[in-house]
Amino acid sequence: MRLSRRSLLTGTAGLAGAAVVGRSAKAEGARSGAAVDAVVIGGGLSGLIAARELVKQGKTVTLLEAKSTIGGRMVNQKVAGGGVIDLGGQWGGKTHYRLEALSEELKLKRYPSYYEGKGVFIWNGKSYTTDLFNDFWRSIGFSNPDDIDLPEKEKEAALQLWNELFEISKSISVEQPWTSPNAQVLDATPVSQWLLERNAAPLAQWMFGWICRGNGAQVFEPYESSMLHLAWSMAVAPPNETAEDWLFYKGAGEVAKIIANELGSRIILNAPVFKIDQDSSGLTVIYGDCKTVRAKTAVVAIPPPLRLNIQFNPPLPPRFVQLMRRTPMPSKWKVLAVYPTAFWRDQGYCAAGSGNLDVLEQTADACPPEGNPGIIASFVSGNKIGGFSQLSHQEQRALVLKDLAAYWGPQAKEPIELVIVRWTEDAWIGGGYGVTRSTGAWTAFGSGWQDDHGKVFWAGTEQSTRWPGYFEGAIEAGLAAVKRLNAVLA
């Protein structure tokens, strides 16, 4: 079956289906410099939520978005076979109550993720058909360990370390992790070192690498961050609460489109901000081709490292700057393979795959309920992107299809459309989802991570203390920023 032209690996520079609303910075002219109660910087979900809440409260708002489209990491796109894919996040979780309420308010229908049938675990080239785990604390990848024919001693040793991690996570303060028991030692210890000190076998090392690179609250290699940060990510985004529980019929990106349409001309596109000046009466935001917005307050809802691209006057506190420099955006690309139907369902599988393959460490069913078209979602994560990104598009495609076929058989080599979203190559996103902190960053510099800067209030999913890296965290952070902002406007 022949791939469509668009199915050759695509980046995020031109996202079909992205919301194009509001005004262009090039057309601002006379309106530039108009005073508003709040300027919101960043048109992803968190910024949209903050702006929407402020408008509901009767505030005057301008939202500045650097790109030509709105939505940030919440963008959907139509694909072959009449389907819809999300080029950013897509799932809602069992305890994502704010996202669920928002979907009901916007009258967007949802459906449960497909987990009926068997999964697959691949270890060193051998494939095991397995039941899905009943308890995340006793799982290997997505699989029930009892169905994996590996030495019992090796599996139990890995699961013992797994449970030790989760016990540590129970002791972590989600708002002040540096105050947690044994925080200094945990933050000085990279995950890889912790494993070596416990003589972890290859299976355990892979399991920890899999959760480091794949959990929605962060993405990093085990040698890049500390046990404190990994345990914190388990505490703020508990894996046992099923973060991938449901999807939107029209794609999650529809949420951003609807809110953007509500805000209308309050949104200015192609408006990257490069300076914020504060004084006693408010602040001046300089964006685009030296245009300005005068405001009483600002909400900055962009990925944390990008905050340093803005010149602040007065400047940001040095410790806060140091923390941002130790908070890189993760290396993560998203893979979406589209098929005429969900053939794996007919074979008794649910497309939940995991294993130590060359490129794709996990897969998931992302189809509509009827399985037409069939859609498998996956990711290229961590340092795998380093070498993978240097290959030609055709070589990348071949490696992706090889791994998909290893999981789901020869039919997986014949998608009608293949999309790879290169998050790291989008200058206004910078990488995948979640919060990464380098080893030692929490205890040395973390105490100011929630501190606002005068009349500038931080938002964005990474700012949340509950489900950071997810849509739920984006909503929480946007609403929390508005609450703090209102104290200044009162």
CATH architecture of 151-241: Orthogonal Bundle (1.10)
Task: Please name the residue that has the structure tokens 């030790």.
Answer: 164
- What digits encode the pLDDT tens for the residues 166-176? 999 999 999 99
Residue 392: exposed, middle, or buried by beta-carbon count in 10 A (0-12, 13-18, 19+)? exposed
Residue-wise pLDDT for 439-490, tens only, equals 999 999 999 999 999 999 999 999 999 999 999 999 999 999 999 999 988 8
CA 206 to CA 204: how far, in whole Å? 5
| Fold: same for 23-72+252-327+437-489 and 114-147+329-432 | no
Classify domain 114-147+329-432 by CATH number.
3.90.660.10
Class of domain 23-72+252-327+437-489: alpha beta
Q: What is the pLDDT, as a whole number, of residue 218?
A: 82
pLDDT in tens, 249-308: 999 999 999 999 999 999 999 999 999 999 999 999 999 999 999 999 999 999 999 999
Q: Is 29's pLDDT higher than 90?
A: no
Residue 49 in contact with residue 461, Cβ under 8 Å? no
Distance, in Å, from the CA atom of 422 to the CA atom of 19, rounded to the nearest integer, reads: 19
List the chain domain ranges: 23-72+252-327+437-489, 114-147+329-432, 151-241
Please state, rounded to an integer, the average pLDDT across all residues of the chain.
Answer: 93
Residue pair 375/366 in contact by the 8 Å Cβ criterion: yes
Question: Which residues contact residue 265 at a Cβ distance below 8 angstroms, ignoring those fewer than 6 apart?
Answer: 22, 23
